[in-house]
Structure 1
Amino acid sequence: METPVHPIVEAQALDYLLAARRQAGLLPDEWRASPREVRRVAVIGAGTMGTGIVIALLEAGMAVVLLDRDDGVVEQGRQRIVQHYERRVSAGKMSGELAATRQSAWVVTTDWASLADVDLVIEAVYEDLAVKQEVFRRIDASAGPDALLATNTSYLNIDDIAAATRRPRNVLGLHFFSPAHVMRLLEVVRAAQTSPVALATGMALGARLGKTAVLAGNAFGFIGNRIYNAYRRECEFMLEDGAWPEDVDRALTALGFAMGPFAVADMSGLDIAWRMRRAQAATRDPRERYVSILDHLCELGRLGRKTGAGYYAYVDGRAAPTTDDVVRGLIERSSTQRGMTRRALAPETIQRRALLAMVNEAGLLLAEGVALRPSDVDVVLTEGYGFPRALGGPVFWARHQAAERLAADLQALCEAAGHGFVRADLSVFSGN
């Protein structure tokens, strides 16, 4: 593998990302408009994501209404926010006076009539289309006619959500990353009928929250999750080919990733991906290569860190350094069913295959117009997904590889993946 990081290239990467973050906030002329003033926001959903969004809004000086279905749920949300400010004060990171000011600017409720005077509604409920459509019908009936309506969906089609309202021009995606009051990235997602005013307001909100806002088109997974899914899929292929989860995780953290993909999956919960996979099962082409290891782990109740075992086993919250016999047995059985002879993979091979999967998917989504510019892809991956800043992002990395070697490796990746894999034309990486 060509050396991925060189001191000169690293300095160039950091300079490039600085400029790319600035450029990400610029909308094309046809979508530019004056943003609406946002003073009062309603957040629907008092779970971890919803309360994180509330804290982010409060820190930006806005008035917030937190709404959920019953008193018990909203009380749990209220306690999360109160405890957040108590911890900040006790750690000396915030004065008691400022914490009191922040907490005086929000209310919790179960009353949908409280949406009548808000400028923006952000939905952050369960990731299920029918649930979100029902929530948006209630929002549409309760919010004022000029209010903008945003969904925090990670994967769902925003056009389908907007169709549940009488104001699709006022509907957009605001994809926050968890914890929402900490993570710097905000994907602002444009649906088919989203107005320039709604987009401009979403981008301005991101800036006000101190986040890097990036415009994305309405496609499965938007920019970040779509590329991350391709990366995770390639890492699962490598399990069948001969690597263990710890081999993959160690190789990628050595490259500079904040965490490896299997450690990340355990931390976030394997059931999240499992639920999405089951929802897609009916439309999945049986000829495509599909790795079912995660599904089998979930069937065994190994949902990750929260259940004490996922890809790794956990004792007192600490992961075992290697995977156990249960996981290795599932992986070996998957390799056998695939008819593959397992061979150990060198760290450099793991690193390059993972990067190439990201590069290829980035090329596809740029060709489809999901991202405005190549540099936006790199901003999303470095700001929201732990991609090493020293590599500049998948597009920047690809631009610094030998063209003939890159083309040959992408072809090999395509052939190994088999049916359904689409090789990208990387000429879309030209320009900013």
Structure 2
Amino acid sequence: MSEVVTYNRDGSVGVITVNYPPVNALGHAVRSGLLAALNQGLADAEAKVLLLVCEGRTFIAGADIREFGKPIQEPVLPEVMNQFENSSKPVIAAIHGTALGGGLETALGCHYRVALGSAKVGLPEVKLGLLPGAGGTQRLPRLTGARKALEMITTGDFVAAPQALELGIVDAVEAGDDIREVGLAYARKAVEEGWPVRRVRDLTDKVEADKGSEVFDEFRAALEKKARGLFSPFKCVDAVEAAFTLPFDEGLQRERALFSECMASPQRAGLIHAFFAEREVSKVKGLAKDTPVRDVNSVGIIGAGTMGGGIAMNFANVGIPVTLVEVKQEALDKGLGVIRKNYENSAKKGRISQQQVEERMALITGSLTYDDFKDADMVIEAVFENMAIKKEIFAKLDAVCKPGAILASNTSTLDIDEIASATARPQDVVGMHFFSPANVMKLLENVRGSQTSDEVKATVMAVAKKIKKVGVLVGNCYGFVGNRMLHKRGAEAMALVNEGATPQQVDKVLTDLGYPMGQFAMSDLAGIDVGYRIRQERRNSGEDVPLSWLDKLAEQDRLGQKTMAGVYRYEEGSRKPIPDPAVDAIIEEFRKEQGITPRQITDQEILERCMFVMINEGAKILEEGIADRSLDIDIVWIYGYGFPAYRGGPMFWADQIGLDTILNAVEKYYDELGGDQWQPSALLKKLVADGRSFGDL
């Protein structure tokens, strides 16, 4: 008998218990243990009903990630589930915590399911580039019907127990905290009432009702927009459709064949890399696990604009009170109004209740004085990218804030050490770069200054987790990780347009790669004035930043979506970028001023120059220790800039392409174009020479 799965009897109920911390994942020991315990229960003449229950905080939460990438040992989960389903005695799954992926498939292989009210169920395999491969695509639709099964499987979203009851996924939802006692009570009822074996595979009413339905074609059409470029969601639809067109056993075979196709897809490798990388970024190199973390029970924010307001919402959402300071009452009122409108919109969509709107608004207090920061545990500055203004603000904060308060800047490019120099406490100063819209975007790029204390580093990483962000700790340089690479890509995109490409051609190459939007559409979304101010700041500091046709757009008040015109034009109520002949004329005039004769530029050149310049810069970032690992860069780009997760991030993507291919192109462009951006990274050259990849570092 496996140590992680045990069998014992309680009266006439045979109890199969899984105890495999932390989440009872379906590793080999659990799978083999489940079969052994099932056979013991079937051989126990005194056991009339079998109960499957898990110790710890959750039911089986899915596959064992420690086995990812390794050969699968027998028995495989589909065989385990088939044997459970074919049990001659009724088997009841008692669900608490989460039953996800293979965990839910295990429960579906049982004959009855009872859950605590707090439980959640789901089939999230699509998020790893896979589909449920142990019967989930065949059994779930027999309980829910086609449409709901497709929704759950193609999105990977969880369903709370009460909704699972309505959908027929579970048979009962019970109150209580002790899942074993709840399960035993349910099982005893099954014994008393003589419940029969009831196999999900034999349920046909939902299958008959949805046979010949157009729902499958509808979902494929919807996925063309929602899951553009993705592989596994479409395979999920194919698998679910098999439940309605094939006998059950043939449907299982079709599911396994489609599962194998997903396993062979490069997207699966990219998504699994992103999955592991997201968990790894919280482990900061050189930062001890027992580093003290400061309490952050109150937060101050300077600036009630788009960024400041969005940042305030993050804290209010988790119950942390916020003091929001502006210079003028008008700006403060406007900012608070926008926050309320955002919450009201969420309430209209059913994401939060009206009561939650009021509770969260009550946690945000407006003010016109820094004196109200005197008791704040953390203050985050969110004003324009202007070093003089930021240093002035931090000097004021240094005078007002209590000892030990963390002073953070939301700067996206500026030197954290110079900002910290305006204070007498540089050890408490850190960058916290939120991404717009801050209440939506998951990335928080935390930036350590040269004197930032380990305690502050640990605290901002803990805060990221608390406010449900993916925190990445990076070093201090111009643009840090994300914007440093983005600005290289942006400069190359500008050069390509100057040389003869159109903005829409450049953008299409990037969206074809999998980005949700291209370089110039993104500029319009962020605001042309944002980049303009950054360039002006760099010019003011003495850098040689050439003028561009984007500057001309900003000076004509074509600031992007907010003014309905930027690189593209926009129609009222729409965010769709529309090419604008007026911009073509501005670009043409700029080329004449610069003496540039436009030429035909291929999509391949655009791809190489926009992406390989980023990879080369990423390698330099690793050389300099600005990022500790290539996966840090990957996560910054996936969650901050929309790099397609199914490609694993830019550095993982580079490894897949081959670093020798990238180095050859970088050296070619360095010879043809020159410039520091094309100076080949020493690290890139060494990795190629050694036959290694970024992932090997």
1:319 and 1:116, CA in 2 relative to 1: closer, same or farther beyond 3 A?
closer
After superposition, residues 1-400 of structure 1 pair within 5 angstroms as 8-30=265-287, 33-281=291-539, 283-285=542-544, 290=546, 292-316=548-572, 318=574, 323-336=579-592, 340-400=596-656
**How far does residue 145 in structure 1 lie from its aligned partner after superposition?**
1.0
**How far does residue 338 in structure 1 lie from its aligned partner after superposition?**
5.4
Tell me, yes or no, if the aligned pair for 2:637 and 2:643 is still in contact at 8 Å.
yes
Give the 3-state SS of the residue equivalent to 1:122 in structure 2. Answer: strand
Q: What do the CA deviations read for 1:41-65 (whole angstroms, capped 9, x no partner)?
A: 1111111111111110011121111
Letter aligned with residue 675 of structure 2: H
**Any gaps of 5 or more consecutive residues in structure 1?**
none
Tell me the distance in 2 between the aligned counterparts of 1:247 and 1:240. Answer: 13
TM-score (norm 2): 0.58
Matched, 1:415 2:671: yes
TM-score (norm 1): 0.92
Tell me, yes or no, if the aligned pair for 1:149 and 1:172 is still in contact at 8 Å.
yes
Letter aligned with residue 411 of structure 1: E
Letter aligned with residue 60 of structure 1: V
Q: Which residue of 1 aligns with 2:694?
A: 429
Tell me, yes or no, if the aligned pair for 1:246 and 1:321 is still in contact at 8 Å.
no
Tell me the distance in 2 between the aligned counterparts of 1:304 and 1:264. Answer: 9
Tell me, yes or no, if the aligned pair for 1:151 and 1:175 is still in contact at 8 Å.
yes
Tell me, yes or no, if the aligned pair for 2:297 and 2:377 is still in contact at 8 Å.
yes
Tell me the distance in 2 between the aligned counterparts of 1:345 and 1:399. Answer: 26
Q: Which stretch has the larger CA shift, 195-204 or 406-415?
A: 406-415
Letter aligned with residue 391 of structure 1: R
Tell me the distance in 2 between the aligned counterparts of 1:241 and 1:260. Answer: 18
**How far does residue 70 in structure 1 lie from its aligned partner after superposition?**
2.7
**How far does residue 341 in structure 1 lie from its aligned partner after superposition?**
4.2
Tell me the distance in 2 between the aligned counterparts of 1:330 and 1:96. Answer: 48
Q: Which has the higher contact order (CA 8 A, sep 6+)?
A: 1
Q: What do the CA deviations read for 1:71-105 (whole angstroms, capped 9, x no partner)?
A: 22222222122222222223222122222222232
Tell me, yes or no, if the aligned pair for 1:312 and 1:319 is still in contact at 8 Å.
no
C-alpha RMSD over aligned residues: 2.3
Q: How many residues align?
A: 426
1:30 and 1:266, CA in 2 relative to 1: closer, same or farther beyond 3 A?
closer
Tell me the distance in 2 between the aligned counterparts of 1:149 and 1:201. Answer: 12
Q: What do the CA deviations read for 1:202-228 (whole angstroms, capped 9, x no partner)?
A: 000001111110011111111101111
Tell me the distance in 1 between the aligned counterparts of 2:320 and 2:637. Answer: 28
Tell me the distance in 2 between the aligned counterparts of 1:347 and 1:74. Answer: 46
Tell me the distance in 1 between the aligned counterparts of 2:368 and 2:336. Answer: 12
Tell me, yes or no, if the aligned pair for 2:652 and 2:695 is still in contact at 8 Å.
no
Tell me the distance in 1 between the aligned counterparts of 2:673 and 2:288. Answer: 38
Q: Which stretch has the larger CA shift, 188-197 or 340-349?
A: 340-349
Give the 3-state SS of the residue equivalent to 1:371 in structure 2. Answer: coil
Tell me the distance in 2 between the aligned counterparts of 1:261 and 1:358. Answer: 13
1:309 and 1:85, CA in 2 relative to 1: closer, same or farther beyond 3 A?
closer
Tell me, yes or no, if the aligned pair for 1:5 and 1:391 is still in contact at 8 Å.
no
Q: Which stretch has the larger CA shift, 81-90 or 188-197?
A: 81-90
